[in-house]
A = this chain, B = another copy of it.
């Protein structure tokens, strides 16, 4: 019931604050005898790592992961895998303003209301820096899913969406926006740079597809694959919306328009469409699992915003610091990690009840 844990069988727990000595994840329930080393995790952390372009926060962190347990002679042992990432760029800074007043849109006030107290340095536990631990855990989850290919990308920044006709998976790794449409990437470079220079921020949409998920994963009625994905995605910092398959668009459709007709195919069932996003009744159908996730603009902006001090007086705050002008960009590797974590868990859960 730990609120800092996620998953049922393949279950991970994260710990750590933005400006503490380190952060980490403990992954429990991982099957034994899977090849694992720090080198298998690091590339995923590097993809999420800040400070790699001018479009993300300039905090410089190597985000080097250490495996402290659960691996012996290069293989998982079946016991908890402890992953630790040291915080190295805890820039000494004056936090007195943030300590005294609540940053609107941030969790400052909510944490204080809940705990009567908060670690105000860089947002403490509420910092998106915690997602590094999820990405590390997600890299372990992928070991459990050799049959599944997971891909996430940014499909929209502000009001500017990619052209689906120009989707090229190869492009995603070639630009700093995880953008599959090279022309959109060029436009976004301008858009994000203008935003950054204005000390402003902007929202984004991330999409993720998992191919190769067999029919049968997911567990009705409160362990549905789509419900677990919704929790996984909505729990990522700055996320305000989640869609499975066609999402909100289906509200406008008729049953005929929304039907995913089926035909016998050479390799089993074939579907005419995938409005459902690969999930029916909470169980995978064998089609690609599709998720869309909305990220709000970072709340940290240079424009002063009216707020309240800890003692209840009116003030204004402008957030200096080193912030992502578009936090959704670095959200893509996190969405990918959460997809892997949910699927790994459901694969094992399905095996528990149904064998195979």
A162 at the interface (CB under 8 A from B): no
At the interface, yes or no: A169 with Cβ under 8 Å from chain B?
no
A57 close to chain B: CB less than 8 A:
no
For A2, list chain B residues within 8 Å (CB).
2, 5, 11, 13, 28-29, 80, 222
Residues of B within 8 A of A253 (CB): 158, 202-203, 296-297
The answer to whether B350 and A351 touch across the interface, beta carbons within 8 angstroms, is no
- A21 proximal to B (CB < 8 A): yes
Which of A1, A118, A286, A328 counts the most chain B CB atoms within 10 A?
A1
Q: How far is the CA of A301 from the CA of B251 in the complex (A)?
A: 16
Instruction: Verify if A138 is at the interface (C-beta below 8 Å from B).
Output: no
Contact assessment for A201 and B240 in the assembled complex, using a CB-CB cutoff below 8 Å: no
- Name which residue of chain B comes closest to A202, CB basis: B254
Binds B, one of A44-52, A64-72, A171-179, A181-189: A64-72
Copies in the assembly, this chain: 4
The answer for the CA separation of A252 and B281 in the assembled complex, in Å, is 31
**Nearest CB in chain B: distance from A111 CB, A:** 6
Given A80-B4, A215-B109, do A294 and B248 touch, yes or no (CB 8 Å)?
Answer: yes
Proximity string of chain A (22-48) to chain B, C-beta cutoff 8 Å, 1 when within and 0 when not: 111010111111000000000000000
Whether A114 pairs with B216 at a CB distance below 8 angstroms is yes
Taken together as a complex, chains A and B put the C-alpha atoms of A159 and B272 apart, in Å, by 24
Please report the total number of A residues contacting B with Cβ < 8 Å: 154
**A218 to chain B: closest CB distance in Å?**
8
- Asked if residues A296 and B251 are in contact (CB atoms below 8 Å), the reply is yes
Assembled-state Cα–Cα distance A264/B101 (Å): 12
In the complex, what residues of B have CB within 8 A of residue A118's CB? Answer: 72, 77
* Interface membership of A167, Cβ < 8 A: no
* Residues A172-224 near B (CB distance < 8 A): 195, 200-205, 214-224
A255's partner among B156, B200, B223, B355 (CB-CB below 8 A) is B200
Report the bound CA distance from A68 to B68 in whole Å. Answer: 14
Please, which residue of chain B has its CB at the minimum distance from the CB of A114? B216
Q: In the complex, what residues of B have CB within 8 A of residue A22's CB?
A: 68-69, 82
Taken together as a complex, chains A and B put the C-alpha atoms of A192 and B205 apart, in Å, by 33
In the complex, which residues of chain B have a beta carbon less than 8 angstroms from the beta carbon of A235? Answer: 221-222, 224, 226-227, 230, 282
15 further interface pairs, Cβ-Cβ under 8 Å (given A31-B353, A243-B248): A1-B11, A2-B13, A5-B5, A13-B26, A13-B80, A15-B82, A21-B69, A31-B355, A72-B121, A107-B220, A203-B258, A222-B235, A226-B235, A247-B294, A351-B352
Q: Which 3 A-B pairs have the closest CB atoms?
A: A107-B281, A3-B223, A352-B352
24 A–B contacts, CB within 8 A, in A order: A4-B220, A16-B68, A29-B353, A79-B124, A104-B259, A105-B276, A106-B280, A107-B282, A109-B262, A110-B281, A113-B215, A113-B216, A113-B283, A113-B285, A113-B286, A130-B221, A201-B255, A227-B230, A240-B244, A243-B294, A256-B305, A261-B307, A264-B312, A272-B306
